[in-house]
Amino acid sequence: MSILGYLSSVLIGVSLGLIGGGGSILTVPVLVYLIGLNPVLSTAYSLFVVGTTSLVGSFTYMKKRLVNYRAALVFAVPSFVTVFLTRKFIVPAIPDPVFTLGDFTLQKGAGIMGLFALIMLAAAFSMIRQRKDASDESESSEVSFNLPLIALEGAAVGLLTGLVGAGGGFLIIPALVLLAKIPMKMAVGTSLLIIAAKSLIGFLGDLGQQAIDWHFLTVFTLLSISGIFLGSYLTRFISGEKLKRVFGWFVLGMAAVILWKEFY
């Protein structure tokens, strides 16, 4: 199972390279079910793996001038604040067990995985549904900001990132496309930069809170980085929109497995 977990780390990078998101959707389940880590530590490791891999991937988009730094800043500042505060204060404060109702007891780990599964369902729906405006790929479209909405979504994504270790690309990209009117390709590049900064800042909140196995984390992250180069290369031959829908169905199935495993 550990070998399969290491191989899956490459798939995490491939996902980020191909569709600009989905890496964290794979990372936490891989770390929990294949590597055997506890869910709280897995969310911390996920922040580092996804953050570092996304940072490397964003460089490719920077070279192509497909990163909107202003949009990244507007979205990221409230997200940075909430993700750091969540990892530093909220996650350690969650009781274990979370609550007991009659014969049912919700453990902290199961609660985190349950919340993660619900986020996966939202991600799956976002990736499966067809985008009517997906053809808008112009790199020079004028950006029109809705500052309050972008900032609010940034804060919400930061909270989710802190709780479950999800980079939130499936939430960031729609926000950039719909609220900032950024073309899809530029939204992917901007999203990778936001995910990188937000995830790595969130990971800082875990230093001193978790015992980090740096050797394992480095190897796992390097494998994921190799995957993002492969994913970026495959974009030349694979339709990103079709791949996104297939990946969405895969995520939907994984969410169902997590819910069944944790609560039945």
In this model, does residue 13 exceed pLDDT 70? yes
In this model, does residue 140 exceed pLDDT 50? no
Quick one: tokens of 21? 């998101």
Phi, psi dihedral angles at 121 (to 5 degrees): -60, -40
Convert the pLDDT of each residue in 62-96 to its tens digit: 988 889 898 888 888 898 889 888 888 888 888 88
Convert the pLDDT of each residue in 172-228 to its tens digit: 877 787 777 788 778 888 888 988 888 888 888 778 777 889 999 999 999 999 998
Confidence band of 144 (pLDDT split at 50, 70, 90): low
| Percentage of residues in the chain having pLDDT higher than 70 | 87
In this model, does residue 165 exceed pLDDT 90? no
| CB 182 within 8 Å of CB 143 | yes
Give DSSP secondary structure letters for 185-205. HHHHHHHHHHHHHHHHHHHHT
In this model, does residue 139 exceed pLDDT 60? no
Q: Where are the domains of the chain?
A: 2-263
More confident call, 184 vs 151: 151
3-class secondary structure, 183: coil
Region 132-158: mean pLDDT is: 66
Convert the pLDDT of each residue in 98-113 to its tens digit: 888 888 888 888 888 8
Answer whether the bond into residue 174 is a cis peptide, omega within 30°: no
Confidence band of 134 (pLDDT split at 50, 70, 90): very low
Residue 130 is predicted with a pLDDT of 64
What number of other Cβ atoms are within 10 A of residue 66's Cβ? 20
Average pLDDT score over the chain:
81
Cα 168 from Cα 198, distance rounded (Å): 10
DSSP 211: -
